[in-house]
Copies of this chain bind each other. A is one copy, B any other.
Amino acid sequence: MSQQDDVPTAPWERPRKRQAPARIPLTRERIVEAAFVVLDRDGYDKLSMRQVAAELGVAVSALYVHVDDKDELLQLMYNRLFDDVELPEPDPETWQEQIKDFARDGRQRLLRHRDMARISMQHVPFTAELLPHVERLFGILRAGGLPDRVTAIAGDLLSTYMEGFTLEESMWQDRMKDSSWTVIGSRLENYFASLPPDRFPNLVALADLMVGETNDYRFELGLDIIVRGLASYGTHSDSDQDEAS
């Protein structure tokens, strides 16, 4: 898409008002895009305004024309990551699976970009761009017959779990990089298993279960625990009014 800029405009072609701008104009979108490139290549710690500017072949200060803050840039990245989520029409029959899909999809999106989970924990809770998604999520939960006060909390609970789990997950990979997961796993398992059994009987006993399973499995089980808890608030939305005081 950049090579056609180099081709001189043929004389019989009416040149556009803005005749073939040698530099594609800087936009928020292009900045966000470049930020993702830097993030994936160098990681969050190296994601600086200067690096992003260098990626675009542009001066640092140029970025500040389009973006107020580094914070705003991070926010834009987060928003773009969840730009195109499409939540299904609420279905009372399969609401539990719909909820789980929401969380699964969120995790996958965060895993798409390196260190993205760390950025996600920094974002301001509610942003206008994300409102439609929250709206849909609430629709699903209400369709499932959950009491409103549970629904109002469930959104927070789910996204907190999703982001928190993914953060921890990607932190492991980060702290012990240049090792495959199986290597990390067995190393950790050995560590737990080698603890003095008299002082740490439970840790020793659960050593294999803590690291033996895949992240997918662990995420799925945690998700199931939450959804079961939600479901326990049942379809009959009045009988439990006084249980959580």
Contact = CB atoms under 8 A, between A and B. Distances in A.
A180 to B, nearest CB: 18
Looking at A202, A210, A224, the one whose CB has the most chain B CB atoms below 10 A away is: A202
Interface stretch (A6-14, A56-64, A153-161): A153-161
A239 interface: no
A230 B243 CA distance: 17
Contacts of A201: 135
B218 A153 contact: yes
A contact face: mostly helix, strand, loop, or mixed? helix
A227 B104 CA distance: 21
Interface string A173-214: 001000000000000000000010001111101100110010
A232 B221 CA distance: 13
Interface residues on A, range: 35 or more
Contact of A195 (B131, B168, B244): B131
Looking at A142, A152, A171, A195, the one whose CB has the most chain B CB atoms below 10 A away is: A152
A115 interface: no
Contacts of A175: 124
Interface of A: 121, 124-125, 131-132, 134-135, 138-139, 142, 148-154, 156-157, 160-161, 163-165, 167-168, 171-172, 175, 195, 199-203, 205-206, 209-210, 213, 218, 220-222, 224-230, 232-233, 243-244
